[in-house]
Structure 1
Amino acid sequence: MGNVLARASPMSWRSQRKESSLPNPGSFDELHKNCKEVFPQQLEGVKLIINKTLSSHFQVSHTVRMSTIGLSSYHFNATYSGDRQLSPTETFPMLTGDLDNAGSLNAQILYLLAERIRTKAVFQTQLSKFLTWQFDGEYRGDDCTWTLTLGNPDMVNESAQNWMATLNVGYGGAHASYYHKANEQIQVGVEFEANTRLQDTSFAFGYHLNLPKANMVFKGSVDSNWCVGGVLEKKLPPLPVTLALGAFMNHWKNKFHCGFSIMVG
């Protein structure tokens, strides 16, 4: 068996990277975000969401959920955003807190150390007892993102304007997703997860249909567990109200549930 050695000059490597002109893939936490947003969120029972903007820096929301198969809950969420805005979706510093009726708190702090260096701290309590914390550091390059966390999973990511393919590999398994935006009305996503500890794998396909003229959005999904579902969202202009109706059925377990929600604000 022989060895093969390939060599490339630094100048040619840099020029190839410039010619590729790939965009930055974004934050590590958002690698699977585009794909996951294609899938519908399961609805069961009744959910009421009220959003209120108190100022340009402070927003709050109230969420009440009444369930027929689980426990009903109430969540209060407060968000503070600072003055430094790098993009329409990024404002620093940002503090977010979510508190439920059981006393469980999920707090998150985002802070910008430099133009390319972002930090995040996450604290969680459960039943009024301290549960966990996590600190992240992130460096944003021109076409790559370096993230340091406690878990420190390996990451492979390739992105473009209308599609994103992501693969995370760690000790517990692997998580892969593919997102594709066909046009302004149609988006699709495919997700694959393998858990080595539970010896379980799952596969899911989702699609997102946007009908702006009708003020309607439909999300549907089907997965390897024989679960089929969909959520239909309808805005009611000029009122700041959005209605959502969802239905999901698991053919293998012969289970069906549905629900609707009302969002104000």
Structure 2
Amino acid sequence: MGSVDACIEQPERKNISNCNSNLPCTHCPAGKGPGNPGCLEEIHKKVKDLYPRNFEGAKLIVKKSLSQHFNVTHSIIFSSVTPSGYRFGTRYIGTKRVGHLEKYPVICGEIVPNGNLTATLMHTLGCRYRLKLAAQVANQEYKAISSTLEYRSNNSTMSLTLANPSILKQHGTLVLHYLQAITSRMTLGAEMACQRGSTIPGHQQTIMSLAFRYSTGRKTLSTTVGEAGVHVCFHMKASHQFQIGVEIETNFRTHESEAAIVYQMDLPHSDLIFRGLVNSESTVSAVIEKKLHPFVDSALQISGLYNHKKEQFRIGVGLNVG
């Protein structure tokens, strides 16, 4: 069963103003301040967005807008790797505006014929507080549930996440994020995650890490360092048509490291987007997306992946309509 991603893309830096009960929530006008740095979960977002979304087999996705705020999605997937079959998804976007790009509330969901369901609710409390609820139901049981409360000031973001809580058993995961914009180019942050459970040594574990990001616009360097390992990403926009990213991740516990080079090439005259990947696990993959005219928001996708070490080759063809 597929997962539900964020339904709206949020800009990396925002300025947020105080609410006025008579006016819609809007961002502060551009000033000398560094601006809001976004959330810590998206500190490596520029590199992650370049990764090709590989798939195997065939898929057909048909999206239908029933109104300005509500649309439905029909998906048919045939694959020997991922679960095949039919999926039905919905998305609702409300009328409350925060800035120029964000609208709330946002409700997303996807269900399969056997009853497995994933759903996400995002809403804003005033202009500075955001609430996110996510749940996954499988085999008539809650498999995962999480709630996040986020506060955004003019130059910082703080969020608190509680995942899979069990009050009676005193199990669950608590994550605290803080991200501070020092200047318009430099951002510092910290993360503290506390997990309790019977399968954890000592029944409790706390992990702390620090985050750093330096961005000039065309180039961005982001790093997270903690007890579990080091994660470094570098993104560069070489031109309007070509972007490249490098990612290196080291795990101190397993003593393993992995590196990857990802890139994206946009050919607007041909309505073609090409994303590629080469990593240290001897994997080479790519996804080609060709827009289909005169159909609006329709595209043909071709995915290919080959792992030289495991000698595995996977290919997929997909069609998005609407």
Give TM-score scaled by structure 2 length. Answer: 0.70
Tell me whether 1:252 sits opposite 2:309 in the alignment.
yes
- Larger deviation, residues 40-49 vs 160-169: 160-169
SS of equivalent residue, structure 2 residue 49: helix
Quote the sequence identity (%).
33
Which residue is 2:88 aligned to?
Answer: 76
Whole-angstrom CA distance in 1 between matches of 2:216 and 2:152: 16
Deviation at 1:23, TM superposition (A): 4.2
**Could you say what secondary structure the match of 1:213 adopts?**
coil
Cα gap change, 1:96 to 1:124, in 2 (>3 Å): same
Compare relative contact order (CA 8 Å, sep 6+) and give the higher one, 1 or 2: 1
Q: State the AA in 2 paired with 1:220.
A: G
Report if the CA contact (8 A) 1:23-1:161 is conserved.
no
CA deviation map 1:77-115 (0-9, x unaligned): 111111112245421111111223342222111111121
Amino acid in structure 1 at the alignment position of 2:316: G
Q: Distance in 2 between matches of 1:234 and 1:160?
A: 31
Query: Do residues 190 (structure 1) and 246 (structure 2) align?
Result: yes
Unaligned runs of 5+ in 2: 1-30, 162-173, 177-190, 192-208
Say if 1:108 and 1:141 are closer, same or farther in 2 by CA, change over 3 A. same
What is the total number of aligned residue pairs between the two structures? 247
Trace 1:47-66 onto structure 2 (pairs within 5 A): 47-66=59-78
Note closer, same or farther for the CA distance 1:26–1:48 as it changes in structure 2 (3 Å cut). Answer: same
Q: How does 1:107-126 map to 2 (within 5 A)?
A: 107-126=119-138
| CA RMSD after TM alignment | 2.3
Match for residue 209 of structure 1?
265
Pick the aligned partner of 1:151 from 165, 175, 194.
175
Q: Structure 2 CA distance, aligned partners of 1:70 and 1:180?
A: 33
Superposed CA deviations along residues 126-172 of structure 1, whole A, max 9, x for unmatched, are 23311121111212233332222223334524245334433345554
State the TM-score, normalizing by the size of structure 1.
0.83
**SS of equivalent to 1:209:** strand
Q: Using a 3 Å threshold, how does the CA distance of structure 1 residues 228 and 215 change in structure 2: closer, same or farther? A: same
Shift of 1:199: 4.1
Offset at residue 209 of structure 1 (A): 0.4
* Cα 1:24/1:82, change in 2 over 3 Å: same
Matched, 1:263 2:320: yes
Displacement, 1:70? Answer: 4.6
Question: 1:10 maps to what in 2?
Answer: none
CA distance in 2, matches of 1:171, 1:101: 42
Runs of 5+ in structure 1 lacking a partner? Answer: 1-17
> How far apart, CA to CA, are the structure 1 residues paired with 2:225 and 2:148?
18
1:28 corresponds to: 40
**Aligned letter for 2:39?**
S
* Matched AA of 2:293: P
Asked if structure 2 preserves the Cα contact closer than 8 Å seen for 1:75 and 1:101, the reply is: yes
